[in-house]
Amino acid sequence: MPSPRETILTALADLLRAVPHVPVLRGEVLPERVPAAGLLILRDGEPGEPEMTLSPLRYHYQHRAEIEAVVQGSDRDTAFATLCASIGTALAADRTLGGLCDWIEAEAPRPADLPVEGAASLKAAVIQVILHYTTVDPLA
| Model pLDDT, residue 36 | 84
Across 83-94, average pLDDT: 96
pTM of the model: 0.93
Q: Which residues of 84-99 are buried (b: 16+ CB within 10 A; e: fewer)?
A: bebbeebbeebeebee
| Model pLDDT, residue 10 | 97
Taken in order of first residue, the domains within the chain and their CATH numbers are 4-135 (3.30.2000)
pLDDT at 90 over 90: yes
Q: pLDDT tens-digit profile of 25-80?
A: 999 998 888 998 899 999 999 999 999 999 999 999 999 999 999 999 888 999 99
**Which helix (DSSP H) or strand (DSSP E) does residue 4 occupy?**
helix 4-16
pLDDT at 2 over 90: no
